[in-house]
Structure 1
Amino acid sequence: DRLVELSREKLRRLGLSAAQLTELEAREATTATFTVPSPASGVVLEKMAREGQYVEMGMPIYRITDLSRLWLMLNVHERDLPFVSLGQRVDVEVSGLRGHHFEGAVSFIDPVLDTMTRTARVRVEVPNVQGLLKPGLFGAATLFAELASDGTLATPSLPGEYACPMHPLQRAEAPGRCRICGMELKKRVPAKGKAAGKVLAVPREAVLSTGKRTLVYVEWWAEREPDGSIRHDHAGNAKKLAQPQYQGFEVHLAPLCSAFHRKEDGTLHKLGDYYPVIEGLPTGVRIVTHGQFLIDSQQELSGKPSLFRPQGGSTDGGHSGH
């Protein structure tokens, strides 16, 4: 009995199920072959043993990989890292599969930066249900960094107090195991996320910048009070100007962003580049997008506040008449 139990235990460690052990014990004649199941489902990528070859315990026989979900490794520059978050949607295009678009999600952000390239590796999980993607293919990814109403990054919510260390997007409310790799879920802090919202933004071409100071010009067609409010007549109508007046506002802007429109076929159409406005620009005004360099020069020559002269004043530097 002791020898039989040791044999059972050895077969269990090889991966045989209880049903297989029962079937082996019920056989009337002994056999030198039996089926050893794979511990994981997937595709055989490499066969390391041949029929008749002697193998020892612990020796790899097959290399099996689940290709239903692949990893796309991205190198993201440090200036773009503030716009990357876990769970973020990613649009993937592969050079060898033109016309096909794949959608994935950011599942890991390397906490260490490569000092040579100034980039960090970002892992994107991409479903491969149809099996079109192959390991080793080169691809390009577009990360959609939506903004919240305050101009900061809108982050997806990641509910669940437990997450897989290898697959952080696999989360649960109670302890358990990852449905992908089988690792034990570890306790994590749930990420509430931040919802996307409308944000005040100006076109890229409307911005004047010295590198330290940023200016946006506004076009006025109504008379203004000293406090900036619109001057009205006795009937309550705004007093119109014969010629437009221009005023520059020093603004604090978020990094440059792009606006996209998704068509019915899933392709994206770029609408333009915009700077989200953090502060400094009133809402509901008409901004100048063309000719602002000429306007700024006229402002400076007339002694009014301009890009390089915030306080205004004469441009002759005290040498008038020389």
Structure 2
Amino acid sequence: MSRLPRFGMILAASVVIGSGGYWALAEEPHSGAAHGAAAGAVHQHSYEEGRILYYRHPDGLPQFSTQPKSTDDGRAYLAVREKSGEAGGHAPAVAPAKAMLAELGSTAPRRILYYRNPMGLGDTSPVPKKDSMGMDYVPVFAEEQQDGATIRVSPGKLQRTGVKTSTAAMARIGRAVRAPATVTLDETRVSVISMRTDAFIDTVSTVTTGDRIRKGQVLFGFYAKEIATAGTEYAAPGGDRAGSALRLKNLGVPDEAIRTIAERQQVPSSIDYASPRDGIVLERLAVAGMMAKPGDVLFRIADMSHLWVLADLPEYDLASIRVGADVRLTVRSLPGRSFDGTVDLIYPQVDAQTRTTKVRIELPNPDGVLLVNMYAEVEIDTRSEEPVIAVPNSAVIDTGDRKLVFLDKGEGRFEPRDVMLGARGDGQTEIVTGIKAGDQVVVAANFLLDAESNLNSALSAMTAEGGRQ
């Protein structure tokens, strides 16, 4: 539609709305059949003799003209006069005029720059035309022309396409990394009981493998010739007590036994060996009457109040794991219970076959319900220590060549913004550069905006190229 007819239609509609409202207020009510006859006469007279404002489609379609016009099948458009009534079945002129103004959507003529393909293709036309499917090309008005980046979308189209926005905010980004694991002993809490010199085992306590023992509890009694000689020198008055005491310690004699020798001034025939820690007896190899050589293992004791858990993490998850991260552990044999620990060590090697790396986790086991070699599942919290700028994952468009988000600039304007991504978590992505906290970003239908932006960029480039030519 050209600018002159469009302007005439807008002007005609405005006049009709004003005049229709005036006549509606000017009419006084009548009663009885006289009122019906008078009203019919007035409406008929106005319809036939009033000033023509514009012409409308005979079927009531929202199609108007400022000049006489015919439909495709040869029927003439109906004239809408200054005060069109209901005689002859015609509707008041005010309603079509309002509909026309709503359709036109503006109170001033708009300049059409060109027409673009309705399917989003790159071809344009300086005049109205149809595509191969019979669809009308869409006019692009001067006030809608974009700079090639920012796009403008009408409120109706926003509602139809389902565009939604969210606020970029500061948050700790991360995701829960889950992996299978195995409960093991804390290597630093295992003690091996052995002799440092030849010794005869006289007696052995009744503790057996698997028993819990306390620190200081007697495990066995022994006699060693070398220890007896050093003890005699230590007990003798006037001797080198300091040197003898050091020799006894180097031979592995417990401090309690050394104090007993000093108090009694004699060496006992059998010296008691006490447990150095609380724990569980893992091995009991001591037997009464046996000859123990230096280094022979007699007992192995482990403190199970703290344990290690070894988890096998895939290689691609290693970058998100840090020492000190919180860990939650669950065991199938203990349903409903969970245990909290921390990452203590990331082993410096990757298994060549499984492409996994072991991660060591420390956790307390005060009630002793966790047992060695239990299978478990760990969930490692990989959230960053400091909050960063984050947006929902759906806000980021990855085209392969670039990563961008759409900023909502208000009033239906959207701007694509290139961003640099950081960590990606459960539902959120870190934005290193490109936007700031508080920006409104599009989280739904942003691919449609991206297509519209690409189209605008292409059309702007074509328009600029045409202008240079």
TM range, normalised to the smaller chain?
A: 0.5 to 0.7
Residues 74, 123 of structure 1: 8 Å contact kept: yes
* Paired amino acid for 2:367: Q
Taking the aligned partners of 1:29 and 1:57, their CA distance within structure 2 comes to: 21
Deviations 1:99-133 (A, max 9, x none): 22212122222222334333322211111112121
Taking the aligned partners of 2:453 and 2:266, their CA distance within structure 1 comes to: 103
Residues 330, 377 of structure 2: 8 Å contact kept: yes
Of Structure 1 and Structure 2, the greater helix share is in: 2
* 1:219 to 2:444 alignment: no
Give the corresponding residue for 2:422.
Answer: 254
* 1:140 to 2:377 alignment: yes
Give the corresponding residue for 1:98.
Answer: 335
Give the corresponding residue for 2:399.
Answer: 210
Matches within 5 A, 1:50-61: 50-61=287-298
* Paired amino acid for 1:74: A
* Paired amino acid for 1:295: L
Give the corresponding residue for 2:260.
Answer: 23
Displacement after TM superposition at 1:249 (Å): 1.1
| Equivalent residue for 1:123, pick from 345, 360, 373 | 360
* 1:301 to 2:469 alignment: no
Residues 254, 273 of structure 2: 8 Å contact kept: no
Displacement after TM superposition at 1:201 (Å): 0.6
Give the corresponding residue for 1:49.
Answer: 286
Displacement after TM superposition at 1:291 (Å): 1.2
Taking the aligned partners of 1:201 and 1:108, their CA distance within structure 2 comes to: 29
Give the corresponding residue for 1:171.
Answer: none
Matches within 5 A, 1:138-217: 138-147=375-384, 154=385, 196=386, 198-217=387-406
Residues 16, 37 of structure 1: 8 Å contact kept: no
Identify the range of structure 1 (135-144 vs 294-303) with the bigger mean alpha-carbon deviation. 294-303
Give % identity. 28
Displacement after TM superposition at 1:24 (Å): 5.8
Identify the range of structure 1 (131-140 vs 9-18) with the bigger mean alpha-carbon deviation. 9-18
Deviations 1:74-104 (A, max 9, x none): 2233333233333222222222222222121
Residues 341, 362 of structure 2: 8 Å contact kept: yes
Q: How large is the Cα RMSD of the aligned pairs?
A: 3.1
The change in CA–CA distance for 1:213 and 1:68 in structure 2 (over 3 A counts) is: same
Give the corresponding residue for 2:323.
Answer: 86
RCO greater where, 1 or 2, for CA within 8 Å and sep 6 or more?
2
Displacement after TM superposition at 1:246 (Å): 2.1
Give the corresponding residue for 2:413.
Answer: 245
Taking the aligned partners of 2:452 and 2:328, their CA distance within structure 1 comes to: 46
| Equivalent residue for 1:4, pick from 222, 225, 229 | 229
Displacement after TM superposition at 1:35 (Å): 2.1
Q: Secondary structure at the match of 1:289?
A: strand
Taking the aligned partners of 1:277 and 1:30, their CA distance within structure 2 comes to: 75
The change in CA–CA distance for 1:57 and 1:297 in structure 2 (over 3 A counts) is: same
- Radius of gyration: which is bigger? 2
Give the corresponding residue for 2:301.
Answer: 64
Give the corresponding residue for 2:429.
Answer: 275
Q: Secondary structure at the match of 1:288?
A: strand
Displacement after TM superposition at 1:13 (Å): 5.0
Taking the aligned partners of 1:65 and 1:43, their CA distance within structure 2 comes to: 5
Taking the aligned partners of 2:286 and 2:254, their CA distance within structure 1 comes to: 23
Matches within 5 A, 1:283-294: 283-294=437-448
Displacement after TM superposition at 1:296 (Å): 1.7
Which TM-score applies when normalising by structure 2? Answer: 0.42
Displacement after TM superposition at 1:298 (Å): 2.4
Flag structure 1 segments of 5+ consecutive residues without an equivalent: 148-153, 155-195, 222-240, 259-272, 306-311
Taking the aligned partners of 2:400 and 2:414, their CA distance within structure 1 comes to: 22
Taking the aligned partners of 2:255 and 2:441, their CA distance within structure 1 comes to: 76
Taking the aligned partners of 1:84 and 1:139, their CA distance within structure 2 comes to: 19
Residues 256, 275 of structure 1: 8 Å contact kept: yes
* Paired amino acid for 1:36: Y
Q: How many residues align?
A: 224
Taking the aligned partners of 2:389 and 2:266, their CA distance within structure 1 comes to: 81
Displacement after TM superposition at 1:284 (Å): 2.4
* 1:36 to 2:261 alignment: no
Give the corresponding residue for 2:167.
Answer: none
Residues 49, 61 of structure 1: 8 Å contact kept: yes
Displacement after TM superposition at 1:11 (Å): 6.1
Taking the aligned partners of 1:21 and 1:39, their CA distance within structure 2 comes to: 15
Give the corresponding residue for 2:113.
Answer: none
Q: Secondary structure at the match of 1:125?
A: strand
Give the corresponding residue for 2:170.
Answer: none
* Paired amino acid for 1:251: V
Taking the aligned partners of 1:11 and 1:35, their CA distance within structure 2 comes to: 14
The change in CA–CA distance for 1:116 and 1:14 in structure 2 (over 3 A counts) is: same
